[in-house]
Amino acid sequence: MSNVEDEGWLLLTNDDGIQAIGMKLLVESLNKRGHKVVVFAPSNNQSATGMRINLMTPLSWRFRDDLKLEWDVEDNNLHLIELDGTPCDTMIVALDKGLNHILPDITPRLVVSGVNLGPNMSQDSYHSGTMGAAREAGLYGMPAIASSLSSFEEEGMQKAVDATVQLIEYALGVLPIEPENLRRPSVDISKPHVSRWPVIEDHPAWSKDPTDALRTAFRHGELMLNINTPPTWNGKFQTTRLGMRWYRDAISFGETSDNENTATFTIGAASIDHTPVESSDCDAVMMDESSISCLPTWPQTHPLAIDDRLLTWCLKTGEDNYPIWLKV
C-alpha cells in the first residue's frame, strides 16, 4: 500500500450509531493502516431512516474522545464526533461547512457510510440510512461508499470490514487528494456522463471513454458504491446490480397496556422471497462473495442523472472482479 499519510482524510458515518460494532471495527482497521479518519455519526441508532432530515431543529454535537480509550486505536489523525440527528443530518452538517467550522484544517477526500449491521440490497436501498447518508454526500458533490454486512448477527463483521477497507483503498486510487466538487461550486450538465434525457443521442460524448466518464461521475458525487459482504465471505468480489428480494410476513400485531392497537415491522422476523437475477447483489452474497454495486445518486429524470446506457458499463469487471473503471 502507498503512504497513506499523504492520502487525505476519510469521513465516516453510519446509521447504527457511533458506538456500533461496525463503526468500531472499521475505525480500528483504518487507524491501524495509517488512514486519517474523521467520524461524524449519529449519537444513537437511526436504522431505516432513509434520507430523513431534521428541519428547523438545533442538533447537538460533541466530541467522543472517550471512545478512543475503549477502542484499539492510536490517537493520531483520528477525530470522533457524534450528532443528535439522522445519518443524512450528519452529512449535511459535516459537508455544508460544519466540518470546516469544527476542524478547520480538514477536508475529506472520501465518505464511507457503515459498516451496517444488516443487508442493504435490492429494495433496502430505499429505506437504508446507511445508503441515505452516502447518497446525501453525493448530493453535496462527494464520492461515497455505503457498506453493509449482509447479516443481522455481529459474527462475520470483521470480514465485512476487511472487504470495505480493500474497496476504500482501491477507490482512493481514482480520487484526487482534495475533492473536486465539494458543495458543487459550479454545475455543469454538459459533462459526458450526464444524461441528455429526454433527448437520446446516437453517439453520446461518454462513448469515447466510458471508464473515464464513470470515474468523473464518482469523483463528482453522481455515482456511489454500495458493498454488501456476507459473514461467510470467501475473499472474492463481484461487480453487481441491485437484485430482487421481497420481505414477507414481517408485520406483527398486538396492543399496548392501554389497549392501543399496534403493528410492528421487523425485517429480521420476515421470510424473504428471492428472485434470481444475473449479476445481482443478492445472488452474489448467496455465493459467499462481496457484492459491489455502482448506483446513481440522482433520479433518472434529474438533469445530473447518469446516462442509463453508460450505467451498463458499471457491470464490466477486471481480473479482480472490481468494476473496471476503478482500475487505474
- pLDDT tens-place string over residues 21-60: 999 999 999 999 999 999 999 999 999 999 999 999 999 9
Percent of the chain having pLDDT more than 70?
A: 98
In this structure, are residues 108 and 9 in contact, taking their beta carbons and an 8 Å threshold?
A: yes
CATH numbers and ranges of domains, the chain: 4-182+217-240+282-326 (3.40.1210.10), 245-275 (no CATH)
Residue 236 neighbours by CB under 8 Å, 6+ apart: 288, 289, 290, 321
DSSP secondary structure, 156-194, as one string: THHHHHHHHHHHHHHHGGGS-SS-SSTT-SS--TTSTTB
Q: Give the CA diameter of the chain.
A: 66
pLDDT of the residue at 228 = 98
pLDDT digits (tens, 9 = 90+) for 156-212: 999 999 999 999 999 999 999 999 999 999 888 999 999 999 998 999 999 999 999
Task: For residues 146-152, give the mean pLDDT.
Answer: 96
pLDDT of the residue at 289 = 98
pLDDT of the residue at 270 = 73
- Cα torsion at 102, 103, 104, 108 (round to 10°)? -120
pLDDT of the residue at 311 = 95
- Mapped onto helix, strand or coil, the DSSP state of residue 124 is helix
pLDDT at 240 over 50: yes
pLDDT of the residue at 1 = 42
pLDDT of the residue at 6 = 67
Distance between CA atoms of residues 204 and 307, nearest Å: 9
pLDDT digits (tens, 9 = 90+) for 88-108: 999 999 999 999 999 999 999
pLDDT at 3 over 60: no
* Residue whose C-alpha cell reads 443478492 in the numeric block: 282
pLDDT of the residue at 188 = 87
pLDDT digits (tens, 9 = 90+) for 254-286: 999 999 999 988 876 678 888 999 999 999 999
Residue 266 neighbours by CB under 8 Å, 6+ apart: 250, 252
pLDDT digits (tens, 9 = 90+) for 286-301: 999 999 999 999 999 9
- DSSP annotation of 247: E
∠ Cα 33 38 39 (to 5°): 105
Percent of the chain having pLDDT more than 90?
A: 86
Residue 35 has φ and ψ, to the nearest 5°, of: -75, 145
